[in-house]
A and B are shown apart, each in its own frame.
Chain A
Amino acid sequence: MAATLLILSIAIPWFGALVVWLAGDARPRLQHGLAVAFSVLAGAVAVALLPFSSSQILLSIPVGGAFGDFTFAADGLGVFLAVVATVVGSLAVIFSVGYMRGEQQLGRYYALVLFFIGAMVGLVLTTNLLLIFFFWEITALCSYALISFYNDDPKAVAGGIKALIITQLGGVGLLLGALMIFSYTGSFDLRDFIAQAGNIPQTALAVMAFGFLAAAAAKSAQFPFQTWLPDAMEAPTPISALIHAATMVNAGVYLLVRFYPAFAEVPGWRTAVMLVGMLSALLTAIMAMVATDLKRALAYSTVSQLGYMVYAVGAGGLFASQFHLMSHSVFKALLFLSAGAVIHGVGTRDMRLMGGLGQKMPFTRAVFVIGALALAGLPILNGFWSKELVLEAGLVGGPLWMWVVMLVGAGLTACYTFRMVWMVFYGQPRAKLHAHEAGAAMKTALAPLAAGTLLTWLLAGPFSKLLESTLPLHALESHSTLHYLEEVALAPATLIAMVVIALGLAAWWQRARLQGLVNALSGVARAAADSFGFEAINRGIVRATQNSAENLRVTQTGLVSWNIFGIMAGLVLVLVILLLGA
């Protein structure tokens, strides 16, 4: 039963992808309907898998050799993320019915979305390292194809290829780590590896640990790979919500949590993880302060919140990071989708042209504000509880100065969130935009997410029980929801955080008076707008590669005698190597 559900949760979206593609672009209504049906069905199957969570291998397909047996297990961590992927996935698909109405090439769009959902489920449910890499790459592939969905827009094409290449570069770290693990343990099963990690030589284990960290950072758009995510915002907005906020970017955090027991003892690894999380959280929070594009601002905030999760993992707060991941998936999907409703309504992403949209779009404003409050970390929304748990874990497991930096980040978060809300929904309209409220399909997708933002924190207890009981190697503790609420509410750290967040809010309200400070920080703002120079480094590498490729082309002279010279040069080379070897 459980094995069947597990297969179905991957197979249904993939089969759906094929069906929608075959349905043909001539019948868009049918395509919308099929996509919704398959994604909702996948979500139902994934939820049905929840009660079957266990640490046991559910399914094993013998392949052997250099590929290992293809094994799958539905442990708490995996099933939880599978549920997030399929449920948020189905909401994003429902939203797309309204958002993508009248677009061309819907078959390609829905096929890729469904293909992505299946791959994401596979990624979190498999225990075979090859398959992890396999699904990892498929999600990157779908992400690339969907970012470049508007193929006539050179920015979309460039953004897609950039995302693909950066995540692939990081993927090399995962590849190397996985291969090293196989060469030392003779098995591709990650549970074998975690169990025997102690027997592996320290240097080799360190290569694996840092390789995985590089892969995770690239996938979750963490420092120093953060530049691809803002450019990925050229994708249709439901994609940004699904792939670039709620699911795929979590894969990096997932990887770190999954392998935490094996790598925690590697010297310097935990500090490096915390550092990556902290730098990402802080730098992108600053960038979000100056962004003028609504989706880019949200993208920066995604990187920043992922930074909190990564930081929590490094500090040993695995539950806190996963809990924040849950909250973030819900409220960030809500924010992105309601931003999508705004963009669909007004036809621009530039916040400087918006303003005063609240009157024309009251529903959208209401749900966006709920999401924003959660992002800012105000009680009693889900973002508040999880962020406080993250900060608490950081205080316990990490150095104090990092905790202070993360607190500052939380203040910045509150500030840029309110800037965003204000620029979009309040104040005077700054341009003549013909706004219209979200349609029925969009509202259908937004309402459950808003409800989730208000309520998912109640799941803290059951969620911790699920993780604790099915991840024996992670040595987690579980408590009741009430315990967590008390813990957060009574901790003095929470009070400090609330003060900082309030300061962040106050800073936004008092922005006119703070103009002097803003001017003083204008240098930082300029640097932030240019991604602190990482953009330039990126461009430099690309240009250097392209130039050397262009310059190398002269070696193909087309002259026969030059070709013969190649033979002679090769002969000399071989003879030299042979003589050196002799």
Chain B
Amino acid sequence: MDATTALTGLILTPLVASPLVYLFGRLAARAGAPRNPARWLALVVLAAALAFLFPAGQAVLNGSAVEVVDGAIALRMDGIGLLLAAAVLVLGLLVTLFSSPYMAGEEGEEKFYALLVMMCGTMVGLGCASDLFNLWIWFEAMAVSSYMLVAFYRQQGASLEAGVKYLVQSAAGSALVLLGIALVFSQSGTTSLAAIRAGAAAGSGPVLMAAGALFLIGFGVKTALVPMHTWLPDAHSQAPSGISAMLSGVVIEAGLVALLRAVGALAGVSTSWGLLLMVFGAMNILLGNLMALRQKQVKRMLAYSSLSHVGYMLIGLGVTVGFQLAQGAAGGFFHLLVHVLMKGLAFLAAGTLLYALHLAQGSHHPLVADDLNGAARRYPFIALVFSLALLSLGGLPPLAGFMSKWQIFVAGVQTHNMAVIVLVVFAALNSVLSLGYYAPLINRMYRKEIGPVVEMGKPVPVVMAVPLALLALALVAAGFYPALFGWLVNPAAASLLVAFGG
């Protein structure tokens, strides 16, 4: 199969299949099928998309971006697009597998899988958009499917509340992006990212600078840059756990990719983009850590920790944007990928415990830290993988989170710039601070006194443990051999360097 066909197939498969998943699921539910087939359909669709990714990805890795242009639709898969697509599809598959017992019997189960497939498809498309307006459309489509997934428990007040806040803030952000597109269009008369980049390098002006600011803020809402982050803890904690993993693992990163694409087209307009990324990085790291420190709800704590991890990525990317060092983006994208693994694992493991301790007993009570007391006694495997995820988030070896942070720090110090080195030390100190909330959770799980909540816990279905095992394995493997994902990360870093004129 040639690469362009593969790319077309990759983009079309989930988008076309999503309504079908819904339709079949709905019909089966009406017919009273005990196990909704929508989950298996979703699994097959995502696996098929992954199969399409191989030939397309092969071409990208061989050094040539894959392009498909049809009328107003312009797609171009480069290293960044490939990285995002791989992350989305792999995590999507694992989340689908995880959700099959987790969501079993929920009202509107088929809707869940249809939306999940749709969200994955739109994110793959977003990563490949080579036109500013296309980018916005993909972004908006991804946003709409995620709104509905966040508010999936539509009988739960808290879930609805989170959905409303997410929608309002995100929609306001995307209106700003649209205004930015209008500003760019008024100057360059085109929405092709490549053409805008060519034009912007020559004649820069305050209008394009304002457009860049609007992109940074508009997409920054989705990326949860501080102070536009306030939707994130609500949405991530209230969504079904599989969706929390998707939101934290890939959706905010998709926002980051959109941000980089749009701002990258305006790279020549200002020299401050790298600085801005690093400033937001520092704010995210600090606020995320401090907000998580006293948090008692497990999923909310993980949500705040996502803020700080976006911060680490931003520092790495900022080094590349500001200093033209590919190492920074390689570290940033490596951390992005590792964050997919570790935060995905953390949310899924927390979700498993939430399922066993509360949901399976029909309670929508949030999982709080006290519930975990003695969990290792009843759920030794879940406690182990959850601990691995938390330690990796805290940046301890031999786990992947250590290696990706290391690479970011290496890049930061390589700039030989005093301010950036101070920033690296600041980030490293914050990494220590983060242990102040990860370590107590682990301690709780390994307590000998079993808490009353664990005592009442239900057994965990084996299917839920499979994705956890795979993610944990990847975390450990990349922790011992950090070059494991180099083939995926380095082309992405090279693409970013190209976008920012390196």
Q: Report A's interface with B, CB cutoff 8 A.
A: 63-67, 104-105, 108, 130, 133-135, 137-138, 140-141, 144, 148, 151-152, 157, 160-161, 164-165, 168-169, 171-172, 175-176, 179-180, 182-183, 545-546, 548-550, 552-553, 556-558, 560, 562-564, 566-567, 569-571, 573-575, 577-578, 580-582
Residues of B within 8 A of A567 (CB): 169, 172-173, 176, 217, 221, 227-228
Tell me whether A563 and B230 are in contact (CB under 8 A). yes
Tell me whether B271 and A574 are in contact (CB under 8 A). no
Shortest beta-carbon distance from A539 to chain B in Å = 14
Tell me whether A549 and B411 are in contact (CB under 8 A). no
The residue that A570 contacts in the complex, of B220, B234, B293, with Cβ under 8 A, is B220
Query: Nearest CB to that of A576 among chain B residues?
Result: B213
Shortest beta-carbon distance from A40 to chain B in Å = 24
Shortest beta-carbon distance from B150 to chain A in Å = 14
16 additional A-B residue pairs with CB within 8 Å, beyond A157-B440, A180-B413, A567-B172: A65-B483, A66-B331, A141-B397, A148-B443, A152-B448, A164-B439, A169-B429, A172-B432, A176-B421, A549-B291, A556-B233, A560-B164, A560-B169, A567-B217, A570-B226, A582-B206
Known: A66-B410, A169-B432, A563-B169. A575 touches B210 (CB 8 A): yes
Let me know if B30 is at the binding interface, CB within 8 A: no
Residues of A within 8 A of B192 (CB): none
Stretch from B44-52, B398-406, B459-467 forming part of the interface with A: B398-406
Let me know if B365 is at the binding interface, CB within 8 A: no
5 inter-chain pairs at a CB distance below 8 angstroms, sorted by A residue, are A172-B432, A179-B409, A183-B416, A545-B290, A578-B213
Q: Which of B225, B291, B439 has the most CB of A within 10 A?
A: B439
Docked complex Cα distance between A577 and B431 (Å): 27
Tell me whether B272 and A577 are in contact (CB under 8 A). yes
Residues of B within 8 A of A553 (CB): 291, 294
Tell me whether A160 and B443 are in contact (CB under 8 A). yes
Q: Which of A140, A550, A556, A570 has the most CB of B within 10 A?
A: A570
Docked complex Cα distance between A171 and B227 (Å): 31
Tell me whether B410 and A144 are in contact (CB under 8 A). no
Let me know if B125 is at the binding interface, CB within 8 A: no
For chains A and B in complex, what number of residue pairs have CB atoms within 8 angstroms?
A: 184
Let me know if B212 is at the binding interface, CB within 8 A: yes
Let me know if B59 is at the binding interface, CB within 8 A: no
Q: Which of B272, B397, B444 has the most CB of A within 10 A?
A: B397
Tell me whether A151 and B447 are in contact (CB under 8 A). yes
The residue that A182 contacts in the complex, of B229, B410, B443, with Cβ under 8 A, is B410
Shortest beta-carbon distance from B141 to chain A in Å = 21
Docked complex Cα distance between A478 and B426 (Å): 44
Query: Nearest CB to that of B173 among chain A residues?
Result: A567
Let me know if B396 is at the binding interface, CB within 8 A: yes
Residues of B within 8 A of A151 (CB): 443-444, 446-448
Docked complex Cα distance between A552 and B421 (Å): 27
Known: A157-B443, A164-B435. A176 touches B227 (CB 8 A): no
Tell me whether A570 and B275 are in contact (CB under 8 A). no
Tell me whether B287 and A176 are in contact (CB under 8 A). no
Shortest beta-carbon distance from B164 to chain A in Å = 7
The residue that A582 contacts in the complex, of B209, B414, B421, B449, with Cβ under 8 A, is B209
The residue that A577 contacts in the complex, of B276, B327, B414, B429, with Cβ under 8 A, is B276
Q: Report B's interface with A, CB cutoff 8 A.
A: 164-165, 168-169, 172-173, 176, 206, 209-210, 212-214, 216-217, 220-221, 225-231, 233-234, 270-272, 275-276, 279, 287, 290-291, 293-294, 327, 330-331, 391, 396-398, 402-403, 406-407, 409-414, 416, 421, 424-425, 428-429, 431-433, 435-436, 439-440, 443-444, 446-449, 481-483, 486
The residue that A574 contacts in the complex, of B217, B398, B440, with Cβ under 8 A, is B217
Shortest beta-carbon distance from B207 to chain A in Å = 12
Residues of B within 8 A of A577 (CB): 272, 275-276, 279
Tell me whether B165 and A67 are in contact (CB under 8 A). no
Query: Nearest CB to that of A70 among chain B residues?
Result: B481
Known: A141-B391, A161-B440, A581-B270. A558 touches B168 (CB 8 A): no
Q: Which of B210, B227, B293, B412 has the most CB of A within 10 A?
A: B227
Residues of B within 8 A of A564 (CB): 168-169, 172
Shortest beta-carbon distance from A103 to chain B in Å = 10
Tell me whether B482 and A67 are in contact (CB under 8 A). yes
Tell me whether A560 and B291 are in contact (CB under 8 A). no
Shortest beta-carbon distance from B427 to chain A in Å = 10
The residue that A104 contacts in the complex, of B217, B402, B448, with Cβ under 8 A, is B448
Residues of B within 8 A of A574 (CB): 213, 216-217, 276
Tell me whether A578 and B276 are in contact (CB under 8 A). yes
Shortest beta-carbon distance from B262 to chain A in Å = 13
Tell me whether A183 and B414 are in contact (CB under 8 A). yes
Residues of B within 8 A of A581 (CB): 270-272, 275
Residues of B within 8 A of A546 (CB): 293-294
Query: Nearest CB to that of A62 among chain B residues?
Result: B483
Tell me whether B287 and A552 are in contact (CB under 8 A). yes
Residues of A within 8 A of B327 (CB): 65-66
Docked complex Cα distance between A1 and B446 (Å): 41
Docked complex Cα distance between A165 and B431 (Å): 10
**What are the 7 tightest A-B residue pairs by CB atom distance, in nearest-first order?**
A581-B272, A179-B413, A549-B293, A566-B227, A168-B432, A66-B407, A563-B230
Residues of A within 8 A of B406 (CB): 66-67, 130, 133
Residues of B within 8 A of A569 (CB): 227
Docked complex Cα distance between A570 and B220 (Å): 9
Docked complex Cα distance between A138 and B331 (Å): 21
Tell me whether A134 and B398 are in contact (CB under 8 A). yes
Residues of B within 8 A of A67 (CB): 403, 406-407, 482-483
Docked complex Cα distance between A488 and B102 (Å): 73
Docked complex Cα distance between A545 and B230 (Å): 21
Residues of B within 8 A of A183 (CB): 410, 413-414, 416
Docked complex Cα distance between A366 and B166 (Å): 71
Docked complex Cα distance between A161 and B432 (Å): 11
Tell me whether B172 and A570 are in contact (CB under 8 A). no
Shortest beta-carbon distance from B96 to chain A in Å = 30
Residues of B within 8 A of A135 (CB): 397
Residues of A within 8 A of B275 (CB): 577, 581
Shortest beta-carbon distance from A141 to chain B in Å = 5
Docked complex Cα distance between A175 and B276 (Å): 25
Residues of A within 8 A of B290 (CB): 545, 548-549, 552
Query: Nearest CB to that of A552 among chain B residues?
Result: B290
Q: Which of B330, B412, B416, B449 has the most CB of A within 10 A?
A: B416
Residues of B within 8 A of A108 (CB): 446
Shortest beta-carbon distance from A26 to chain B in Å = 12
Query: Nearest CB to that of A136 among chain B residues?
Result: B397
Shortest beta-carbon distance from B5 to chain A in Å = 34
Docked complex Cα distance between A560 and B226 (Å): 16
Shortest beta-carbon distance from B266 to chain A in Å = 11
Docked complex Cα distance between A566 and B169 (Å): 9
Residues of A within 8 A of B294 (CB): 546, 549-550, 553
Query: Nearest CB to that of B271 among chain A residues?
Result: A581
Known: A137-B397, A138-B397, A562-B230. A570 touches B165 (CB 8 A): no
Known: A552-B290, A553-B294, A581-B272. A566 touches B448 (CB 8 A): no
Tell me whether A134 and B402 are in contact (CB under 8 A). yes
Docked complex Cα distance between A285 and B467 (Å): 53
Docked complex Cα distance between A64 and B230 (Å): 40
The residue that B330 contacts in the complex, of A65, A133, A563, with Cβ under 8 A, is A65
Residues of A within 8 A of B229 (CB): 566
Known: A176-B413, A179-B410, A549-B291. A571 touches B217 (CB 8 A): yes
Residues of A within 8 A of B481 (CB): 63
Residues of A within 8 A of B396 (CB): 137-138, 140-141
The residue that B165 contacts in the complex, of A104, A563, A580, with Cβ under 8 A, is A563
Tell me whether A152 and B447 are in contact (CB under 8 A). yes
The residue that B234 contacts in the complex, of A552, A558, A573, with Cβ under 8 A, is A558
Docked complex Cα distance between A571 and B280 (Å): 12
Shortest beta-carbon distance from A212 to chain B in Å = 14
Docked complex Cα distance between A183 and B425 (Å): 15
Tell me whether B227 and A570 are in contact (CB under 8 A). yes
